[in-house]
């Protein structure tokens, strides 16, 4: 489950952020809410690099970035009581939009603390997904302070941009995908030029 302090850790700090079971659990949890994006390669770029390279095309992902994976895993891991008061995060970019969208998919409020110098397009994304924008100054201290205040006022659960085991698990899921789906590991691809995971 989630945690009030944003760690996503209900074990009191013991144990690892991810193991194979939690990664598979994350994969199943987020599957209905994210795209299986392609892994592409380019013989022209391979020739320049002198190696076979693979590109995970998360530009085709919902919300336009990979961040929706961690946000979805974090938000859909919350129990109903935790989720009922919504979520809060701080971000000036893709995590902000991802949390807003994942919260919308779950049907709960999203309070998004955004620094005043954030790009207009990022702010528009948050609002388009139904997130409530709350302004902070540009420093990380201000972001965290405003986020804490919103959390105390609303009871919302903090979805930390990176320091949260549910956010971390999507990363392993992201790269484990081709292997867990029965594809060859990245370094053994030689035929097909596209895979999805």
Catalytic (active-site) positions: 67, 92
Cβ–Cβ < 8 Å for 53, 47:
no
Per DSSP (E only), the strands in 140-183 are 157-158
User: How many C-beta atoms surround the C-beta of residue 57 within 10 A?
Assistant: 14
The H or E element containing residue 170 is: helix 165-180
Cβ–Cβ < 8 Å for 174, 195:
no
Sequential DSSP letters for 71-140: HHHHHHTS-HHHHTT-EEEE-SSHHHHHHHHHHHHHT--EEEEEETTS-HHHHHHHHHTTPEEEEE-SSH
């Amino acid at each position: 489950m989630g945690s009030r302090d944003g760690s996503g850790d209900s074990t009191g700090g013991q144990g690892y952020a991810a193991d194979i079971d939690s990664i598979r659990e994350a994969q199943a949890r987020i599957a209905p809410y994210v795209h299986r994006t392609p892994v592409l390669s380019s013989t022209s770029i391979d020739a320049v690099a002198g190696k076979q390279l693979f590109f995970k095309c998360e530009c085709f992902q919902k919300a336009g970035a990979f961040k929706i994976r961690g946000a979805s895993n974090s938000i859909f891991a919350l129990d109903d009581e935790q989720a009922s008061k919504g979520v809060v995060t701080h971000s000036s970019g893709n995590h902000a939009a991802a949390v807003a969208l994942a919260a919308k998919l779950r049907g709960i409020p999203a309070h998004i603390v955004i620094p005043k110098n954030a790009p207009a397009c990022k702010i528009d994304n948050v609002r388009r997904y139904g997130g409530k924008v709350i302004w902070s100054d540009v420093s990380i201290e201000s972001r965290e302070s405003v986020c804490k205040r919103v959390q105390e006022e609303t009871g919302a659960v903090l979805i930390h941009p990176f320091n949260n085991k549910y956010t971390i698990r999507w990363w392993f899921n992201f790269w484990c995908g081709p292997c867990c789906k029965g594809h060859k590991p990245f370094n053994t691809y030689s035929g097909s030029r596209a895979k999805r995971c």
